[in-house]
């Protein structure tokens, strides 16, 4: 099973992915978290944040997710996922695949932006920021859309929503 958690920087996808991983780990043990930044680091930061560098990282994340799922390891991926063609590839090539789209307004993202990534991009100080100078095509048909404009300390309710998806329940033997 692969749970592909999509969203812009600051939406809460990594926090939520970590909680989903912990829940699955307590239930079955065989789960791995893939995060776009962690995969970049794993491969020696050999790709940049341009569209082409992001495309190469997306290819890696998809291929690695398919490989791990094929070995019986559940995957929770926290990714920007700006390439609709790779999301389609995932759907066509990864059994037990589910997309979860976490949305938040730009106003919320600016408020949460502790690294000033969005603010710097809007001032023209940096480039290649998804949601500012790189478009973010929203997923066309995710299994779940989560609106996350609220400032929350607890993600348990959102974790429950993901854990209750049919594909997740079936993969974990609860259907």
Which 3 state secondary structure label does DSSP give 166? helix
* pLDDT tens by residue, 18-60: 999 999 999 887 999 999 888 888 889 899 999 999 999 999 9
- The topology (CATH level 3) of 2-105+137-171 is Rossmann fold (3.40.50)
Mean pLDDT (the chain, rounded): 93
> Does the pLDDT at position 175 exceed 70?
no
* pLDDT tens by residue, 69-118: 999 999 999 999 999 999 999 999 999 999 999 999 999 999 999 889 99
Q: Which residues are catalytic?
A: 81
pTM score of the predicted model: 0.93
Please, are residues 80 and 9 in contact by the beta-carbon 8 Å criterion?
A: yes
Q: Is 79 exposed, middle or buried (0-12, 13-18, 19+ CB in 10 A)?
A: buried
How is the chain split into domains, by residue range? 2-105+137-171
């Amino acid at each position: 099973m692969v749970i592909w958690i999509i969203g812009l920087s600051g939406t809460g996808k990594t926090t939520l992915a970590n909680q989903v991983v912990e829940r699955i780990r307590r239930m079955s043990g065989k789960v791995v978290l893939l995060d776009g930044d962690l995969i970049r680091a794993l491969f020696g930061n050999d790709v940049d944040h341009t569209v082409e560098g992001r495309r190469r990282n997306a290819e890696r994340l998809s291929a690695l997710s398919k490989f791990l799922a094929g070995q019986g390891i559940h995957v929770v991926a926290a990714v920007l996922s700006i390439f609709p063609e790779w999301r389609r590839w995932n759907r066509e090539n990864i059994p037990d695949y589910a997309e979860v789209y976490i949305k938040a307004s730009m106003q919320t993202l600016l408020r949460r932006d502790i690294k000033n990534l969005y603010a710097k991009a809007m001032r023209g100080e940096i480039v290649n920021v998804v949601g500012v100078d790189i478009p973010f095509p929203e997923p066309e048909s995710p299994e779940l859309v989560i609106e996350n404009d609220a400032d929350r300390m607890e993600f348990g309710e959102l974790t429950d929503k993901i854990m209750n998806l049919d594909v997740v329940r079936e993969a974990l033997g609860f259907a």
